[in-house]
Amino acid sequence: MPTFYGTEINNPLLLGTAQYPSPSVLAESIKLSKVDVVTVSLRRESGGSNAGQDFWNLIKELGVRVLPNTASCYSVKEAVTTAQMAREVFATNWIKLEVIGNADTLQPDVYGLVEAARELTQDGFQVFPYTTEDLVVADKLLQVGCEVLMPWGAPIGSARGLNNEYGLRSLRAHFNEVPIVVDAGIGLPSHAAHAMELGCDAVLLNTAVAKAGDPAAMAKAFSDAVSAGRQAFLSDPIEMSDMACPSTPVIGKAFLS
């Protein structure tokens, strides 16, 4: 099971909490999937009024760990300020750091991301950076203090799965001691299982569950999939081949004319 900043997580599925049809459906999805960590946007909460308190109370009642995020932040200043506010509201140093660079693809601004990560780690945050699969950017993030990498699978909410399998394999090979969480673009349990089969440590998703016809059932399906994918990786699967390889031995078989 993955360990993030010294905290071991029992379930390698991390679940977002936005866009569900109702609080009860969200609660049922969390319960059925048995996730340990959920992501929460500061925009669902408030520091000085009662707005959003019902949502926050629901999350606390479920007993899951909260990973606040800086969703929809487009500048370093905005992301850092949002993270600082989230720490006050949710009482955690964990932060999923998003610095968006493109409004259409929601691709991270990797330059701003590294700068924001440096500021936040110096301020005592434990940063989960939403990044690309770029090796150089990953190295820079680790240099400024990040201990987790969160590369995207595909654009947020696109349900395209893993657009760059080679890139994810390269990340795993180059940073084999660093927890890697595939974040964004996952649409099917098979996508999540494949990410785990590549050696990733966890998968974070939201839209694929929240907007499914039956979110709770889909949440459980994803939880089962990441578990199966992890077990497959640990079991050392066979390599692909361009040629057929008979599963029934041919040695000793009679040759009939």
Q: Any idea which residues carry the catalytic annotation?
A: 96
> Six-digit token pair at 184?
């964004």
d(CA 144, CA 137) in angstroms, rounded, equals 11
219 contacts 33 by C-beta, under 8 angstroms: yes
Residue length, the chain?
257
Q: Which residue has tokens 């999923």?
A: 96
13 contacts 196 by C-beta, under 8 angstroms: no
Of 36, 32, 30, give the one whose Cα is nearest residue 11.
36
Q: Going along 51-210, which residue ranges are E strands?
A: 65-69, 94-97, 126-131, 150-151, 181-183, 202-205
d(CA 139, CA 248) in angstroms, rounded, equals 47
Of 225, 218, 226, 139, give the one whose Cα is nearest residue 181.
226
HSE-up (13 A, CA, CB side) for residue 196:
28
d(CA 120, CA 64) in angstroms, rounded, equals 24
3-class SS of residue 13 = strand
